[in-house]
Amino acid sequence: MKLLITGDWHYRSQNPVARLDDFQATLNAKLHEVGQIAYDYDVEAIIVPGDIFDSPNPAYSTLTALERIIKDNGRQVWAVPGNHDEHAHSLESLDRTAYGHLAATGMIRDLAMRPVVTGIVTVTGTGFSTTTDTDVSDYLTKNTSNATQGCVRIHVAHGMLLERSPGFELKHTLLEDVAKHPRCPDILVCGHEHLGFGVKRLPRAAGGEVVFINPGAVVRLSAHPGEMERTVQVCLLEVYPGTLPECHSCGVALLPENASSLQDGDEYIVTCPKCGNHSVVHYAGWGPPEVWSIGSPVVDTTLIPLKSARPGHEVLSRDHLEAQADREAKMGQFLNLLSREGEAKFLDVQSIVEGIAKSENLPREVVDEALSRIAKAREALGGRGRTA
């Protein structure tokens, strides 16, 4: 089986503040390219690990635009809901969202509700919720009643799955913690963390290895240095049983050395060593002949850069971040000045208020109230200055 894995889509029509281009047009081009890659490699489905949309209820025009792209691409879309697909991180809200609409109309397959089970793989999913990353449970494989013994278990999730601790307060889960669990899947596909980590393989406590996949988001919403520099990419995942196919006539195992060269792009003609009949073996199901006799499932991954994704410096601007930093620096200087010299400045203001009150013959209670408010404001500003 061949699958094409993307990161978050965050489909929207409005331009993020950091973007210099027409964001929706650029995203449309990327998703059409994803569809072309899926067609070129003849994948079974495109997997999206959450955040198909940037908000749970986009404009109808935004929803229909994405529906057209999915239809034009002509491939199944398997997904799980991300935090941006839901209201208030609640999976129960999905029936009131654009994601829920796509799932209900069959435009996408929600893996959390409808797992995929074949003779080669099981594909399950868990959507984002308020409990995500409180433990490793969202990243563990789910039991499927009709799964074939020995099939490859693929799980799709949306959470802050990281290679290493970020070094600051952030709810997250480490790859190594998932790999230690006895119910760790064979392949874990994850979204949510936009920079991604590509493909990582770790030893699994239950034996063998686990393949972690996060190619990074399809979109770049901010001008974070990592976003400016990273490659926007997708991942081609190929999973083959690693066992010998059988003759269609007598059931005897077919040998790799008896296979013809690839026919029509996807078929091998294999002569049975017992009955001499010819069987058709499809590449999509079994892979190339050299992997037929390995004896265990074969998992191959290939990261494919998107050609439609222009370099970060061409489409992202840091001007708004630099202006904000400059404003915050000047505000900090001002508050510190007030904190250090506030008493003298306050006395000047008091003199001004007293002078105005005398010239305008204002009642004393009005003057006292004005000075009281100024004192409270000064105290608040001074506190901010000491904190800054």
pLDDT tens digits, 132-153: 999 999 999 988 877 767 789 9
pLDDT tens digits, 73-117: 999 999 999 999 999 999 999 999 999 999 999 999 999 999 999
CA 335 vs CA 234, 330, 340, 344, 377: distances in Å: 48, 9, 9, 14, 12
Distance, CA of 180 to chain centre:
23
Confidence of residue 388 (pLDDT cuts 50, 70, 90): very low
* Structural domains present in the chain: 2-241+297-317 (3.60.21.10), 244-284 (no CATH), 320-387 (no CATH)
* pLDDT for res 354: 75
The pTM for the full model equals 0.80
How do 161-162 and 116-117 pair as beta strands?
unpaired
Neighbours of 227 (CB within 10 A): 19
Q: What is the mean pLDDT of the chain?
A: 89
Any idea of the CA torsion for 281, 287, 288, 292, to the nearest 10 degrees? -80
CA 301 vs CA 46, 180, 224, 261, 298: distances in Å: 14, 22, 27, 23, 10
Confidence of residue 120 (pLDDT cuts 50, 70, 90): confident
Q: Rank 52-61, 250-259, 319-328 by mean pLDDT and report only the highest.
A: 52-61
* pLDDT for res 145: 73
Residue 341 reports pLDDT greater than 90: no
* pLDDT for res 387: 43
Residues 6+ apart with CB under 8 A from 360: none
Confidence of residue 327 (pLDDT cuts 50, 70, 90): low
